[in-house]
Structure 1
């Protein structure tokens, strides 16, 4: 499974606009990785202690790596390959907030990428 790096890199740029607000809420990567158990899971998978050093996930390199890790851990590609924005959103966000905006952005990205 291939992580969609271009999409995630763009997402990181967009999310960086909100980084100060989100860091205060305990959110440190573009997929809103929260909770001690998730920090422990990614720590175990990547052999980096994010539990003791959670701010590492706010650094661009680890933010991108953790976003790809989350994407692959949750097998989101199977939904993305079918343009199932509903399931992609539910897997990442846990809710369907701003679904219409996401549908619009999917069309924009597909046009830009000519896919």
Structure 2
């Protein structure tokens, strides 16, 4: 997290063709700015699903995937307020996930 006026702290550690350590990039959705080498390092050290998450605001770029169980989620807007929120409606979320046994899967690449 070097200041953007400085070179990236990944200079010399992360070799990436064509990226100078002082180059800065701006994320498209949230507008937060980082050294390009830092963005490459975040992506390379991420969860390997092709997504990137802004460390400042947690905006997700790409689609996060994982090992979710089969099932579905439904939501309903309830036209009643909850205590302390007289001007708001409530949302009811219902998850339907079949019973089963959780197993840990290890992927080897």
- Structures share fold, TM-score greater than 0.5: no
State which structure, 1 or 2, has the greater radius of gyration over its C-alpha atoms.
Answer: 2
**TM-score calculated relative to the size of structure 2:** 0.25
| Larger strand proportion of the pair | 2
| Larger helix proportion of the pair | 1
